[in-house]
Amino acid sequence: DTGVSQDPRHKITKRGQNVTFRCDPISEHNRLYWYRQTLGQGPEFLTYFQNEAQLEKSRLLSDRFSAERPKGSFSTLEIQRTEQGDSAMYLCASSLELRGGPNEQFFGPGTRLTVL
């Protein structure tokens, strides 16, 4: 088991371009989370999947953001028409739902996005 992986690790793009990030969770984990971390801040929750169903989205997730988890395995986070304010580290985490929680979330190394 190699843990949670994210690709790419770094992305530099120009304002207005679309970007897509991928997260591969730990294989048996049925829950997947996306967080965003800006400089000097703690991670902020963006969205959550239970298997393939997206069950909650933060108000931080504007209509330019979309996330999917087809087949309940890997997930993608797409940002359309990027803005400089989207520059941040995007973190993915996964967990296995067990009774009697809490279910530890395992984090990937993140994708650092820079919008020029």
Partner 1 sequence: AQSVTQLGSHVSVSEGALVLLRCNYSSSVPPYLFWYVQYPNQGLQLLLKYTSAATLVKGINGFEAEFKKSETSFHLTKPSAHMSDAAEYFCAVSPNFGNEKLTFGTGTRLTIIP
Question: Under the rule (CB under 8 A), what is the footprint of partner 1?
Answer: 4, 31, 33, 35, 40-45, 48, 50, 55-56, 91, 93, 95, 101-110
Q: Which lies closer to partner 1 via its Cβ, residue 35 or residue 65? A: 35
Smallest separation, CB 17 to partner 1 (Å): 25
Q: Which lies closer to partner 1 via its Cβ, residue 82 or residue 94? A: 94
Q: Please, are residues 46 and 60 in contact by the beta-carbon 8 Å criterion?
A: yes
Task: List Cα–Cα distances, 45 to 17, 33, 111, in angstroms.
Answer: 23, 8, 15
Q: Which lies closer to partner 1 via its Cβ, residue 80 or residue 106? A: 106
Q: Please, are residues 30 and 51 in contact by the beta-carbon 8 Å criterion?
A: yes
Smallest separation, CB 32 to partner 1 (Å): 11
State the pairing for strand pair 75-79/65-68: antiparallel
Q: Which lies closer to partner 1 via its Cβ, residue 75 or residue 95? A: 95
Smallest separation, CB 113 to partner 1 (Å): 15
CA 51 to CA 69: how far, in whole Å? 8
Smallest separation, CB 77 to partner 1 (Å): 16
DSSP 4-35: -EEE-SEEEE-TT--EEEEEE--TT--EEEEE
